[in-house]
């Protein structure tokens, strides 16, 4: 069992403990509030950006304060320490790591590198659009492949679409907005085959939320010197979305090319936060436990209403509302809840993030009024 699975196992026991204690259904202990710093409950409940409201943790906040005086220094002074930690965590060398001002910057620089001047990207529909929109702005094109009936990436069709024009395949796994993952063997077989024909990009922003044990990161393919780029972020499970820090993992020749093209790097405060977050196992487990609790509460309400939802391995759910998303958004906002935007072609589906348990309570009450 690796460190990630060990931590996730601990978080699962934590989630069961939380769920079995009615007194914690809507509130935290004072110790938890101090340690995990949740945002105060307020309307409208912001459940539209897949954020983790419990961060930064107390340990991270203290580290940032301690390093505040370094704000006058360039980040290169502390960047090497973080890169060493990430390389050790991922089982690669520092030369494999490309730091960026949020993983979105890594996606964008990859889009420019492989899809400018007419290059084609094969991608799922719907999926996270940062790379794809940026690639199109630089002259690239997108070959869309609709997700299958289970809301999963249709990698068989993706493989059929590979041609001499294809410069990159974009996989968001777990996928945003559908929240689903590919089966282990299907993922491995596809990436191994496709990376012999073109570059494969694996966006793993939500990897930590995967509930299937021993699920592989495509960093394993990078270690085998495959044409694979993996992106990861500190925005989700670590609760650092506002600090903008993420990274890519790729073989050194690819990593160096991407590094030289980066336009937005990160900053000293974000680096100090990320260094501390990597060692804050308590917050990591807590975040996963609260996410599991929130999803269970949401699914219970959706089951009572007979709503269909995808099998989630993220910090959000994708469910069918039965009405146009713009109409649903307006109705939910009247009840004090912000939900996700439209994700064509699924205009009668909604992406809803987990948040504070108080946010989830309000969402459930509002959903019963709007749908029920």
Residue labelled with tokens 């991270």 = 60
More confident residue, 336 or 7: 336
Q: Is 82 helix (H, G, I), strand (E, B) or coil?
A: helix
Give the separation between CA 51 and CA 48, rounded to whole angstroms.
Answer: 8
Q: Are 269 and 71 in contact (CB under 8 A)?
A: yes
Query: Among the listed ranges 172-176, 185-189, 220-224, 261-265, which one has the minimum average pLDDT value?
Result: 261-265
pTM of the model: 0.92
Query: What pLDDT score was predicted for residue 1?
Result: 54
Query: What pLDDT score was predicted for residue 264?
Result: 83
Query: What pLDDT score was predicted for residue 31?
Result: 87
11 pLDDT tier (thresholds 50, 70, 90):
low
**∠ CA 54-179-14, rounded to 5°:** 40
Identify which of 3-7, 17-21, 112-116 has the greatest average pLDDT: 112-116
Query: What pLDDT score was predicted for residue 40?
Result: 82
Q: Please name the fold of domain 3-57+281-371.
A: 3.90.1150
Q: Please name the fold of domain 61-279.
A: 3.40.640
User: pLDDT tens-digit profile of 134-178?
Assistant: 999 999 999 999 999 999 999 999 999 999 999 999 999 999 999
Nearest to 293 by CA among 358, 249, 213: 358
> Within 13 Å of residue 197, how many CA atoms lie on the same side as its CB?
17
- CB count within 10 Å of CB 300 equals 11
Query: What pLDDT score was predicted for residue 179?
Result: 98
Question: Domain spans of the chain?
Answer: 3-57+281-371, 61-279
Reported as type and span, the H/E element at residue 187 is: helix 184-194
User: pLDDT tens-digit profile of 243-300?
Assistant: 999 999 999 999 999 999 998 889 999 999 999 999 999 999 999 999 999 999 999 9
Provide the greatest CA pair distance for the chain: 60
Residue 210, pLDDT > 90, answer yes
């Amino acid at each position: 069992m690796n460190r990630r699975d060990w931590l996730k196992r601990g978080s699962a026991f934590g989630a069961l403990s939380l769920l079995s204690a009615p007194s914690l259904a809507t509130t935290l202990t004072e110790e938890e509030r101090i340690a995990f710093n949740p945002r105060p409950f307020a309307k409208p409940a912001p459940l539209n950006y897949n954020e983790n409201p419990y961060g930064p943790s107390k340990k991270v906040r203290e580290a940032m304060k301690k390093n505040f005086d370094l704000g006058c220094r360039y980040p290169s002074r502390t960047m090497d320490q973080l890169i060493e930690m990430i390389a050790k965590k991922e089982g690669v060398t520092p030369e494999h790591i490309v730091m960026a001002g949020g993983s979105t910057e890594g996606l964008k620089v990859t889009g420019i590198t492989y899809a400018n001047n007419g290059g084609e990207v094969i991608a799922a529909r719907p999926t996270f659009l940062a790379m794809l929109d940026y690639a199109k702005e630089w002259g690239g094109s997108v070959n869309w492949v609709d997700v299958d009936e289970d809301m999963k990436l249709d990698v068989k069709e993706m493989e059929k679409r590979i041609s001499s024009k294809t410069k990159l395949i974009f996989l968001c796994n777990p996928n945003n907005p559908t929240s689903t993952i590919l089966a282990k063997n299907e993922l491995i077989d596809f990436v191994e085959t496709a990376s012999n024909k073109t570059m494969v990009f694996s966006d793993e922003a939500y990897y930590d939320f995967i509930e299937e044990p021993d699920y592989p990161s495509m960093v394993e393919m990078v270690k085998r010197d495959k044409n694979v780029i993996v992106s990861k972020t500190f925005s989700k499970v670590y609760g650092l979305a506002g600090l903008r820090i993420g990274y890519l993992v790729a073989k050194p020749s690819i990593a160096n090319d991407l590094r030289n093209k980066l336009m937005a790097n990160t900053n000293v405060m974000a680096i100090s936060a990320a260094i501390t977050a990597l060692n804050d196992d308590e917050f990591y487990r807590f975040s996963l436990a609260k996410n599991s609790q929130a999803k269970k509460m949401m699914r219970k309400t959706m089951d009572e209403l007979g709503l269909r939802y995808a099998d989630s391995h993220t910090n959000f759910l994708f469910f069918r509302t039965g009405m146009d998303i713009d109409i649903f958004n307006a109705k939910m906002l009247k009840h004090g809840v912000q939900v996700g935007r439209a994700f064509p072609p699924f205009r009668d589906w909604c992406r809803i993030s987990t948040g504070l348990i108080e946010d989830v309570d309000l969402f459930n009450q509002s959903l019963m009024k709007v749908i029920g």
